[in-house]
Amino acid sequence: MRMREGVTTTLRIFAPYGVRATYFATGYNFLAGNTERRQFIGNPTYAWANTENRWTSNRWTETPWFAPDPYGTNATHPEWYFADLVPLLKAADQDIQSHTFSHFYGGFVTAADWRSDLATWAEVAAPHDVPPATVLAFPWSSSGGMSDASWQALADAGIATVTRTSKQSQFNLFPRGTHERVLEPHCRPLPGHAAILACPDFYLTPTSLDWAIEQIDYTIEQGGLIDIWAHTEEVITPQQQAAWQRVVHYAATNPAVWVAPLHEQTTWQRAVAEVQVLHVQGAQGSEPLIVALPNGACLAGVALRLPFAPQQVAFWSDGGLPTQQVLTVDYRLEDNVLIFEHPICEPLEVHAWLRT
């Protein structure tokens, strides 16, 4: 029941600020029950879930992973099934992404396990009109030991962003300093699988509250990104709620901070990386500076800082001659900064002249 209370509590904290976040769901979060006794993913046992790998017992080497399923409904066992919470999240325009179906240890399972898990997650999410996940948060930060084949299974399934990655020294992508500060708070291409962005995270607790504020300030200085998170079942104590209220207020009221689901943030990062300067103006300013903007899935808040204050601006479709067309685009100029008034939902070229 703590998880249920945590979901409604965080929604209540976010609402006054219009904050949209990412809720990472496991498979049973989408179920209204399991009276038909479905055996998901073959209800496996896992030889790796043993005391040598720091499990508290060897139970799961012999007991099927989903054996505790009471085969009830969210009315009889609301602590097991959470389908009734999905409409609440969607109504609040929150993003729902994958925490795996099974909540297994990512570095110990096989590529086949990953393929089955991601496919089953998509299967149970689909009836709620939740699309297949593009973002994955690792249970237990368990990316350490992932094989190349497992990473490829993620990419093949459409996972484009990962977070909560391993903190083990040999696998750690984001070294930390004092107060758990992520020293390089930027999403970075995953080594060997550059199509996947790995993003840094910061675990918020009442103890780490002041450190979280420090991390936000440092991330602003670095022009970076940080995924601040906690388990929903933790956000039920007055202390944890106060921590989240302070962090949400601090971030959401700071004009230097963009608070958004991780999928949208990494979509933006990819789109910015694809911006191209196609032609630099001539010495006399009679030739235009041409900047190509990619299709960024309706990116809002786009601004271009140009090397001069333009006297003339035109917009063209990004189709290449002779199919290019002149477009009407709402914008404003503030000296040498061109600001789009509406989201950019299709590729286009910006032509800017110093002289008319």
Per-residue pLDDT of the chain (356 residues; tens, 9 = 90+): 889 999 999 999 999 999 999 999 999 999 999 999 999 999 999 999 999 999 999 999 999 999 999 999 999 999 999 999 999 999 999 999 999 999 999 999 999 999 999 999 999 999 999 999 999 999 999 999 999 999 999 999 999 999 999 999 999 999 999 999 999 999 999 999 999 999 999 999 999 999 999 999 999 999 999 999 999 999 999 999 999 999 999 999 999 999 999 999 999 888 888 888 777 654 455 677 788 877 656 777 788 888 888 888 988 886 555 566 788 889 999 999 999 998 888 888 888 888 65
> How far is 137 from 150, CA to CA, in rounded Å?
15
Contact 149, 111 (CB under 8 A): yes
Domains of the chain: which residue ranges? Answer: 2-268, 275-353
Burial grade of 16 (CB within 10 A; 0-12, 13-18, 19 or more): exposed
> How far is 95 from 22, CA to CA, in rounded Å?
5
Interaxial angle between packed helices 209-222 and 238-252, expressed in degrees from 0 to 180 and rounded to the nearest 10: 20
Which contiguous run of DSSP H or E holds residue 91?
Answer: helix 86-91
In this structure, what token pair is assigned to residue 17?
A: 């600020």
- The CATH topology of domain 2-268 is TIM Barrel (3.20.20)
